[in-house]
Amino acid sequence: MLLLFQATQAADSVQVAADELMKEAIANAEGLDKLSLITQQLIDFGIRAGERILIAVIVFIVGRFLISMLKNFVGRLMDKRKVDISIKTFVRSLVNILLTILLIISVVGALGVETTSFAALLASAGVAVGMALSGNLQNFAGGLIVLLFKPYKVGDWIESQGVSGTVKEIQIFHTILTTADNKVIYVPNGAMSSGVVTNYSNQVTRRVEWIVGIDYGEDYDKVQEVVYEILAADKRILNEPAPFVALHALDASSVNVVARVWVNSSDYWGVYFDINKAIYETFNEKGINFPFPQLTVHQG
C-alpha cells in the first residue's frame, strides 16, 4: 500500500507540471485549436480519474488481504503464547479497527485527496467525535480495566446490569453475553468495570440451599434424618464442608427446614433440581406432609 501511495504522489507531481503547460497552451490557442485542447484535457482528466480509482481499488483489495494476514498472525502469536481468550478477543477487535482506519486513509490518498489536510481534518473531527462519543471512550477504558483486573473472563457465567449469561467475547466497547435461552446481550464495558458484577464461575465450589416447608405437628427429628439420608445418597455433594440441616423458621402456615450443601460449581443446577425431586418423592413415601396456606376464622 505504501509503495502504491508513493508512486501516486510522484505521478501527481509530474501531472501538475503537465497541467500547467496545458493551461498555458489553452490560453495561447484560439478557435478550434482551443476546443481541441480542452477536449484533450477532459480526456486526460478522465484517464487520470480512472487510474486513481483503479489504484484505490487495488489498494483496498491488497489492504484487506494484508489486514486479514496480520489478524491471523496476531491470533497465532497469541495462541502460541497461550494468551487468555478474553485478551485475544479484545486485541483482535482493536487491531481490526486500527488497521481499517489506516486502510481508509490509504484509499483516500490513492484517490488523490491531500492526506496532510485530510489528517488535519480527521484530527479536528476526532476531537469533536471524541467529545460526542465520550461514553464509548469510557467503554474502551472499561474494557482495559476488565482485562487488567479480570473480574470475569470468557466462559464465565456472570450477572451484571440486571442481566446474566455466559461471557462469549470481551470486545473493545462491549462484553457479549449469551443467556441460558440463547439470547445475545451486549453490555457496555464502562458499566461492567464500574458496576457490580457477580461471577458464578470464579470459585471451584458453590453452596446449594433448599428451604422446605412441612406441616406443624410433624416430627422434626424424623424430617431432619430423612433429609440427611437424601443428601448422603447424592455422590456429587461434597463431604467437606459437611451438609447442614436445621429448623429455619416457624412461618405462618409451615415449619421451614433449611438444607445447605457444597458442590462443584459445574454440578450446582443438577444437584439443586435432583434434590428437589428427591425431597418431594421421599416425603410423600414417608408420610411427611407439605403445608398449604390456612386461615382460621372464629365466629362469635
Q: Which domains does the chain have, with CATH numbers?
A: 2-82+92-124 (no CATH), 144-199 (2.30.30.60), 205-286 (3.30.70.100)
> Which of the four pLDDT bands, split at 50, 70 and 90, describes residue 14?
very low
Q: Using 50, 70 and 90 to split pLDDT, how confident is the model at 177?
A: very high
Contacts of 86 (CB under 8 A, 6+ apart): 146, 147, 150, 153, 154, 167, 170
Query: Can you give the pLDDT at residue 4?
Result: 45
d(CA 16, CA 299): 109
Name the residue with higher pLDDT: 93 or 242. 242
Distance separating alpha carbons of residues 224 and 227, to the nearest angstrom: 5
Rounded average pLDDT over 211-237: 95
pLDDT at 235: 95
d(CA 138, CA 128): 16
**Average pLDDT of the segment spanning 108-137:** 66
Higher pLDDT, 227 or 8: 227
Per-residue pLDDT, 3: 45
Stretch 150-169: mean pLDDT: 92
Question: pTM for this one?
Answer: 0.57
Range scoring the smallest mean pLDDT among 4-8, 142-146, 184-188: 4-8
Question: Is the pLDDT confidence value at 295 over 60?
Answer: yes
Q: Which residue has the cell 476531537?
A: 127
- Give kind and range of the element (H or E) at residue 250: strand 244-250
What is the Cα–Cα distance from 271 to 233, expressed in whole angstroms? 11
More confident residue, 181 or 129: 181
Selected residue with higher pLDDT from 109 and 234? 234
